[in-house]
Each structure stands twice: as structure tokens, then as C-alpha cells.
């Protein structure tokens, strides 16, 4: 299967900010840091800060993100998935709730103050709007670190930043298609391990969590951290 030609949709300003931190950490010039690098690059400090969070798995599934009219076409699959598979040991939050959201179940914490910091609800390309500071979003990251499966639907394009966060938080990505696992041609060639949403029809007991997490961690450190 050929990767999608995403064009300008490959870019995201958060990549530039993370890349600048990674280069500065290595005392390298940040002049050529880009919002659209062939491989997303993260600082080791950011990566290790996530690794320091307790990764004891408390939740089976989680999704904390926006489901609004702009993203609904790409994210509508998570509604049926959530209704079918989420349990009392799952976490779901629609961060785009405008007051008329109908709860999906006991796992739905939409409307609570737990989701994301106000700065990450800002619009624009500034660092404050695009860079998700871990200590300011501890519930978000801790929930991901403590979840077995993390839903990673496409966002404004066919991919989402959450896929990288899931790899760093050592959860198992759940996507609706392979196209949600990469952003560039280079990244499409990385053999990431993930689970397709419709494969849960046969259950998840056959999934080798340890292998998937080990393999993805190995690949992430190879392609997304500076050596």
C-alpha cells in the first residue's frame, strides 16, 4: 500500500519547538529546525520526563481529545469503538465539549476540569498554544501512561500528534487504518506496531503487549531521539 501524499498537512509547529529543544540539548544550532521534518524529533529530557511517570496500567482504554465538527469526519469511528469497548476502567474526555455533549457512559468525564491546560486550548502557532508541557497536563499524560490502549484517530489531517505521545507513554496505539500511523514518507517506512480498531471484534487477549511496547520504544528511540 502506498503512503498518502499529505503535502502541507505534514507540518505542525509543535515539531519545530520540540526539535529546537532537542538540538539545544545537544548544543547544536537550531537554525534549521523545521515545522515539517522528515522524522519528528523530541528532546531526551521530554522523553525521560514522560518515562518517569508511573506506568502501572490502571485503564484498559483512553481517549482525551477533541471531537468537533471540523474533526468529526476523521474521528467518528471512535464513537462506536468507545460505546462498544470502553468500560468502567476506561477514560474518555471530549475536550471540545460546548455544553451539549451527551455522555457516552460512566467512563465519560467530558466537562470535568481534568483534561488539558488552558494554554493547550489556545489557537495559533505560538509555543504556548502548540507545545504540550508535561507538568501542566499531568492528568492527560498520566492517564495515557497508565492505559493499555490509546485511541489515536486522525486530527486535522490523516495523522495525529497523539500517535507520537502514545509511543512515548508506552501505550498500544489503536487506529482505524495504517494511514493514521505516519506523517511523512520516511515515517511510513517505520515498522510501528499498532492495533486496528476493527480487529477488536475478535477480542484483545491475543495481543502481545510486551512485544508491541518494546518494539515501538526501540523504533521511537532510533528515529525520534538524537543520538
Instruction: Give the pLDDT of residue 223.
Output: 98
**Averaged over 77-91, what is the pLDDT?**
95
Instruction: State pLDDT tens for residues 88-147.
Output: 999 999 988 767 889 999 999 998 877 665 445 556 788 888 899 999 999 999 999 999
pLDDT digits (tens, 9 = 90+) for 16-75: 999 999 999 999 999 999 999 999 999 999 999 999 999 999 999 999 998 888 788 889
Least confident of 43-47, 92-96, 170-174, 198-202: 198-202
User: Max Cα separation, the chain?
Assistant: 50
Q: Are 116 and 140 in contact (CB under 8 A)?
A: yes
Which residues, listed in sequence order, are joined to residue 147 by a DSSP beta bridge?
A: 59
The predicted structure's pLDDT at residue 9: 65
With a CB cutoff of 8 Å and minimum separation 6, the contacts of 2 are: none
Q: What angle do CA 150, 104, 170 make, to 5 degrees?
A: 10
Grid coordinates standing for 17?
519547538
| C-alpha cell of residue 91 | 477514560
**How far is the CA of 78 from the CAs of 119, 137, 199, in angstroms?**
25, 22, 14
Closest C-alpha to 159, from 36, 61, 32: 36
∠ CA 12-9-27 to the nearest 5 degrees?
Answer: 30
- CA angle (191, 192, 198) in 5-degree steps: 115
pLDDT surpassing 90 at residue 10: no
The DSSP secondary-structure symbol of 37 reads: -
Tell me the domains of the chain and their CATH numbers.
56-223 (3.40.50)
Higher pLDDT, 215 or 6: 215
Question: Which comes out higher in pLDDT, residue 216 or 101?
Answer: 216
Amino acid at each position: 500500500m502506498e503512503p498518502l501524499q499529505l503535502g502541507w498537512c505534514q507540518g505542525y509547529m509543535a515539531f519545530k519547538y520540540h526539535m529546537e529543544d532537542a538540538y539545544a540539548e545537544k548544543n547544536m544550532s537550531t537554525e534549521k529546525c523545521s515545522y515539517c521534518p522528515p522524522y519528528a524529533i523530541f528532546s531526551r529530557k521530554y522523553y525521560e520526563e514522560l518515562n518517569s511517570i508511573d506506568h502501572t496500567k490502571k485503564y484498559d482504554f483512553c481517549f482525551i481529545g477533541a471531537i468537533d465538527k471540523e474533526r468529526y469526519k476523521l474521528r467518528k469511528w471512535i464513537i462506536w469503538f468507545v460505546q462498544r469497548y470502553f468500560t468502567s476502567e476506561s477514560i474518555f474526555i471530549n475536550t471540545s465539549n460546548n455544553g451539549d455533549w451527551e455522555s457516552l457512559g460512566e467512563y465519560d468525564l467530558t466537562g470535568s476540569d481534568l483534561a488539558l491546560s488552558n494554554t493547550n486550548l489556545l489557537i495559533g502557532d505560538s509555543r504556548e498554544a502548540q507545545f504540550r508541557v508535561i507538568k501542566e497536563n499531568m492528568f492527560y499524560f498520566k492517564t495515557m501512561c497508565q492505559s493499555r490502549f490509546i485511541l489515536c484517530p486522525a486530527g486535522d489531517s490523516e495523522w495525529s500528534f497523539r500517535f507520537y505521545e502514545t509511543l512515548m507513554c508506552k501505550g498500544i496505539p489503536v487506529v482505524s487504518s495504517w494511514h493514521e500511523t505516519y506523517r511523512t514518507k520516511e515515517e511510513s517506512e517505520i515498522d510501528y506496531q499498532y492495533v486496528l480498531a476493527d480487529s477488536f471484534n475478535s477480542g484483545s487477549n491475543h495481543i502481545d503487549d510486551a512485544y508491541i511496547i518494546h518494539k515501538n520504544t526501540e523504533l521511537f528511540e532510533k528515529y525520534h531521539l538524537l543520538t
